[in-house]
Structure 1
Amino acid sequence: MGESTMDKNQQAISLMKENKYQEAAALFNEVIEQNPGDPTGYINFGNLLLQLNETERAKRFFEKAIDLDENAATAYYALGNLYFDKELFSNAQQYFKQAIENGLEESDAYFMLGMSFKNDEQIKFSLPYLLRATELSNNDETILFQYGLALAQLEYLEEAEKTFHQVLKLNEDHSDAYYNLGVISLFHDNADEAMSYFEQALEIQPDHVLAANGKKTVLAFLEDQE
């Protein structure tokens, strides 16, 4: 790949970040014309089309990239995201798996594969991928929180509790982490601790409906005890 092509790709990506889509498209077009056998231009153009919500056209560009190079991991990843956004989770799973198999050993790929299973209500299958994502990116509160949720849904409460505390170390204002710790405390019949967590969630986010309901549940329970 010639120096000028690399430069054009970089230039076009910069233009995309500045929302100058037409100029970026013209450059990507030149890249494709100069290197019709290289998948990179097609992948970049596909990402541009996604930004413009031209999903069907984007899909064709990613598929063309895979035709040119069946190991084009980022094209598989892009198609995974495309199907994920359409809520076609089993399609998304296939593409994220192929992205990983073709060398995209990144936390985002494992995270999205895990979320594809989770959103498809196959939480047990999501767990190893979400775990791997946390290992590759242990300071990402979104990944940690979703891993904690999956653990909690599968009733691995001790691990879930540890994970939500890790989330709070990264972001002490994570109201959903406090809420979920409150729910776990209720499972352990620790009403006072649950109340404390629900109140912390509400302090951060006064309109946290679930935490408000949790607090009501605890209050009703405590009144019954009197």
Structure 2
Amino acid sequence: MELEDEELIKNQRKLLLKHRGFDYDDASSWLTIGKYYYLDKEYKNVIKCLLKSYQLGGNNFETWYYIGNSYLYLKDYSNAINYYEKGIEINSNDCDILNNYGVALAKINKIEEAKKYFNKALRINSKHKTAKYNIENLNSLNIEGLFIEDSMANLLKTIMI
């Protein structure tokens, strides 16, 4: 990507925020910005925006899910676990967060506990490919071969205008 294109993209984001009515005192505005950062894999900014969303009253599943994923990508497994637990308190039947929680647990060598969460995801959705793949890898002690469920397609749907 050329420098000119990068500048155009930055300006496009500013324009989008302006016309979308970004409100610095609104939790959902910060959640939306956090999701844009997530799409760009700017995980430290995701965390900052989503924590700001939470401070403004945005205590919801998405906040904790994306913060957990961000910490997992940053290889900060204890924080990933902490935020996944907050998300699981809100929605204990989401296969993706259960899978990712299992990955974070496996990364700190809590193998049996990780298996429990992969299996729980599979009990909820027996066709959850990532959880299925991860339980197979974990059974052969291939911790490096685990995958998180990212749901980028779902994320794109939630931030479309």
**Unpaired segments ≥5 residues, structure 2:** 1-11, 146-161
Q: Would you tell me which structure has more helix in proportion to its own residues? A: 1
1:162 alignment partner AA: K
Deviations 1:85-116 (A, max 9, x none): 11111111100001112111111111111112
For residues 154 and 57 of structure 1, the distance between their equivalents in structure 2, rounded to whole angstroms, comes to 42
1:183 to 1:56, Cα distance in 2 relative to 1, 3 A: same
For residues 175 and 147 of structure 1, the distance between their equivalents in structure 2, rounded to whole angstroms, comes to 16
1:62 to 1:131, Cα distance in 2 relative to 1, 3 A: farther
Q: TM-score, normalised by structure 1?
A: 0.53
TM alignment of 1:1-226, pairs within 5 A: 54-61=12-19, 64-66=22-24, 70=25, 72-187=26-141
Conserved? CA contact 1:144–1:163, under 8 Å: yes
1:61 to 1:98, Cα distance in 2 relative to 1, 3 A: farther
What's the % identity of the aligned pairs? 22
1:182 to 1:91, Cα distance in 2 relative to 1, 3 A: same
Task: Please identify the structure whose Cα radius of gyration is greater.
Answer: 1
Conserved? CA contact 1:107–1:133, under 8 Å: yes
1:77 alignment partner AA: L
Give 1:61 shift.
4.9
What is the root-mean-square deviation of aligned Cα atoms in Å? 2.1
Q: Give the secondary-structure state (helix, strand or coil) at the position aligned to 2:140.
A: helix
Deviations 1:30-87 (A, max 9, x none): xxxxxxxxxxxxxxxxxxxxxxxx4332234568411xxx3x1111111111111111
1:92 alignment partner AA: V
Conserved? CA contact 1:148–1:161, under 8 Å: yes
1:56 alignment partner AA: K
1:169 to 1:87, Cα distance in 2 relative to 1, 3 A: same
For residues 87 and 136 of structure 2, the distance between their equivalents in structure 1, rounded to whole angstroms, comes to 25
Give 1:143 shift.
1.4
Q: TM-score, normalised by structure 2?
A: 0.73
Q: Give the secondary-structure state (helix, strand or coil) at the position aligned to 1:65.
A: coil
Task: List, as ranges, runs of 4+ consecutive aligned residues in structure 1 with deviation greater than 4 Å.
Answer: 61-64
For residues 185 and 64 of structure 1, the distance between their equivalents in structure 2, rounded to whole angstroms, comes to 47
1:186 to 1:96, Cα distance in 2 relative to 1, 3 A: same
